[in-house]
Each structure stands twice: as C-alpha cells, then as structure tokens.
Amino acid sequence: MAIVPIYKYPSKVLKKTAGKVENINGSTAGMLNDMVDTMYAANGIGLAAPQVGMLERAIVIDYDPENRGKNLFKIINPAVVEAEGEATREEGCLSVVNYSAEVTRAAKVLVRGWGIDQKEVEIEADDLLAVCLQHEIDHLDGTLFLDHISRLKRELYRKRLKKQSAQAPSDDRGKVPAI
C-alpha cells in the first residue's frame, strides 16, 4: 500500500473519461488500497482513480472521518441508476486546491457497481453519501465540481489559482503529493 500523488486542477487528466474496468483482480485491489491510503493521508472523504492518474472507473469513499474504515466503500464501475429530488451542499475536492462552493445535485441516488470480490454492489444513498457518490462518479466522466458552478465563480477561481501559481514554483504535470 502506498500514498500516490493526487493530480490538481487544471491537470488535463482530470478532464478525461475513465474506461470500464474489464477484469477485477489483484492489481485492481492494489489500486483501490493505494487510493484509500492516499485519501486518508490527504484527509479526504472520497477519491476517484483519475485523480491519481489512473483512467479506470473506480472510486473509494469514507464519509465519516471520525470512524475511518467503518463506512468505507470501494466501488468498481459505479453508475447512478436512479436519482430523485434536489439538494444543495458545500463541496470541496482534493484536486481543487483551497476552494469550495455550493453545488446542487440529486438528493437521493441509487448506485450500482462491483466490489473487489466481483459481486454486484447496490447503494441507496442520501445526504452526504449521495453527494460523495455523485462527486466521485463525476470524476470518472472528466467532470469536476467546478463544472457545476457559475462561469463567473469558475473564472474567479482560475484567476486566483493563476496568481498563486505565478508566485510559487510547481511541476508541469499539475500534481503534488497528497500529504
């Protein structure tokens, strides 16, 4: 198990669509375990494979930081199959540095995917878990929560980020360690 770098906005990998995981095997399990370690090290509650440079449809979520591991989900090829209602909630992202905004999403969702044991997983969710599932599944389609906010707010964030990056050196790949 390892902590791997998290790609940061505006890295191009974050806008790419992840491919379906065809074979669930030991490599898949290792990737998910690394993602969990990375998420915990970054004090996050969710992480999608594209955020660590893996263009595969896999996510991890643990939305209860006080009880790490108790509500841990590792989902392969997740998809929202039903959604209802509407809820607005403040969101942040491990790939979007120092920024959060209110995002409107479905209030309740039904998500289907696969577990590492190759068994189908079905999750009915509302509240924070519903937000986390939708947020991470968005990453698999190359969508950031920034894409759900107004153009003006996005532009203000881009300008602030550009100003900050002009003041501090960064690598040209747009990633930094998640620690």
Q: Judge whether 136 counts as a catalytic residue.
A: yes
In the chain, alpha helices (H) = 26-41, 127-140, 151-167
Can you tell me the distance from the alpha carbon of 40 to that of 96, in angstroms, rounded to the nearest whole number?
17
Which helix (H) or strand (E) segment holds residue 6: the answer is: strand 6-7
In 69-150, alpha helices (H) = 127-140
Q: Are 19 and 55 in contact (CB under 8 A)?
A: yes
Q: Which of 22, 84, 120, 136 is catalytic?
A: 136
Determine the Cα angle at 100 with ends 97 and 110, to 5°.
110
> What sign does the dihedral 113-118-120-121 (CA atoms) show?
negative
The tokens for 137 are 């599944």
> What backbone torsions phi and psi does residue 64 show, to the nearest 5 degrees?
-120, 85
Catalytic residues: 136
